[in-house]
Amino acid sequence: MASFERASPALKEILLRIYNAEKPIEVDHHLYEFGSVEYHIKSSVSEPQVTYLSISTPFLSQGVFLSYGLSPFTLKMVRQISTDVLHIVEPANDGYQLTLRLDFSKLPHNKESLKIITEVSSVQAVILSSQLKEMLQNVNSGDSSQGMYKPIKLIYHPKEPFYVIRQPQKIVAVFPMRFKDNSDVIIATSFFQELMDVVSLKKWAKVPPCNWSPIPPLELRGEPFEDLSTNGGFVSFDISSHHVEGKRLDKTVWSLLNFYAYVKHHVKCTRGFIQRRMRKRLDNLVEVLEKSRVEDGQIKKVQGWKKMRKMVGSKSKMIKRRWGDLGKKIKRIRFRIKIHGFARFRRRWLKMPSFSSSTGYTKLQTNGNNK
């Protein structure tokens, strides 16, 4: 669920409906979300104040965390949501990584209850962010057994992996960028270049340094080709110990997990802005053309009537003269050579057109007996 909201809206709605119910209700609901995330919410009439919530979510890194499940650090972060309302059930239900027992009777009867339920609905984001927090907290660690200089592939959004590379005194996060449309590639490339220019200013000296390159960095050498085949280049951020101190850790982790979503949101808004400007510009041009057309029509109607009349008369005389010459040539040919059926052809296809002229003309009478 790579989005700007940490809490799941659907899960939050179900938990609020159970909590605000006037009488106990029976709930046994499976909820599926994008990214292979599954929730199982169960509440019974016999135990109305207790609701069981089971979560199944892919791990950020299959190689590091899947071998032994959720780490103690992750379980600690989950318990910190609410120690009174939330309790971890061990072992978890089959097919799920975590099962929680929610005691709604411990919820305060004020606005604080909505806040706690919202935090419970964000438990999937807590699980994933805690895994990245555990990596970033060891930024100054020199233990080579934890994967020194070896890229760790993390997947927060399907088909959009990014890499975390531990280096001395810093951790580098690398994002391979892919886009479907060529126009999105142009907008995103311009955004990355502008981002690098802004980060280089003294005003933003404390933010993580940003770099963009059309080719993969050397640290990703040896990774699968399908992960490195991109059309938007590679964006990297250098995370130092200064960026993971205190409350900055949570903000840094959430920004890294949602970097893809931020870029797509920016590209979509920029494309919409450009399209609106183009439509507005087109409407202004059409309005100017329509206005000029109306003004030109009025001038021609008032001032150019006599001139247009003379022009039409002269054109009609020219056409009559040309057709007259053609008719004379055809007659000379008819007088010299007798062709069977040519008279019918001439009457049908070579008939003299009639013209209307303001000056008028007199039709000449020809004698057809001269043979």
Q: What is the pLDDT of residues 324-358, one digit of tens each?
A: 665 665 555 544 445 455 555 555 555 555 545 45
DSSP for 9-26 reads: HHHHHHHHHHHT-SS---
The helix or strand, by DSSP H or E, that contains position 182, with its residue range, turns out to be: helix 182-199
pLDDT digits 0-9 by tens, 86-124: 999 988 888 898 999 999 888 887 788 899 999 999 998
State residue 108's pLDDT score: 84
- In three-state form (DSSP H/G/I as H, E/B as E, the rest C), the secondary structure along the chain is CCCCCCCCHHHHHHHHHHHCCCCCCCEEEEEEECCCEEEEEEECCCCCCEEEEEEECCCCCHHHHCCCCCCHHHHHHHHCCCCCCEEEECCCCCCCCEEEEEEHHHCCCCHHHHHHHHHHHCHHHHHHHHHHHHHHHCCCCCCHHHCECCCEEEEEECCEEEEEEEECCEEEEEEECCCCCHHHHHHHHHHHHHHHHHHCCHHHCCCCCEEEECCCCHHHCCCCHHHHCCCCCEEEEEECHHHHCCCHHHHHHHHHHCHHHHHHHHHHHHHHHHHHHHHHHHHHHHHHHHHHHHHHHHHHHHHCHHHHHHHHHHHHHHHHHHHHHHHHHHHHHHHHCCCCCHHHHHHHHCCCCCCCCCCCCCCCCCCCCCC
Sheet with 152-157: list strands edge to edge. 152-157, 160-167, 170-176, 234-239, 210-213
Band (147; pLDDT cuts 50, 70, 90) = very low
Question: Which residue in this structure is represented by tokens 């609701």?
Answer: 51
- The two structure tokens encoding residue 28: 């046994």
The predicted structure's pLDDT at residue 318: 61
Higher pLDDT, 324 or 136: 136
Sheet bearing 27-33, strands edge to edge: 27-33, 37-43, 50-56, 98-103, 86-89
Query: pLDDT-based confidence at 151, cuts 50/70/90?
Result: confident
**pLDDT confidence tier of residue 223, bands split at 50, 70 and 90:** confident
What pLDDT is stored for residue 270 in this prediction? Answer: 92
Query: In whole numbers, what is the pLDDT of the chain averaged over residues?
Result: 78
**What token pair was written down for 60?**
């950020």
How does pLDDT run across 3-32, given as a tens digit for each residue? 567 888 999 999 999 998 888 889 999 999
With a threshold of 0.75, does the pTM exceed it?
no
Q: Is a pLDDT exceeding 70 seen at residue 48?
A: yes
Higher-confidence residue of 334 and 197: namely: 197
The model's pLDDT over 229-262, given as tens digits with 9 standing for 90+, comes to: 899 999 999 988 888 888 888 888 888 888 998 9
Written as one letter, the residue type at 324 is G
Residue 14: the pLDDT is 92
Decide if pLDDT at 142 tops 90.
no
For residues 237 and 47, give the distance between their C-alpha atoms in angstroms, rounded to a whole number. Answer: 49
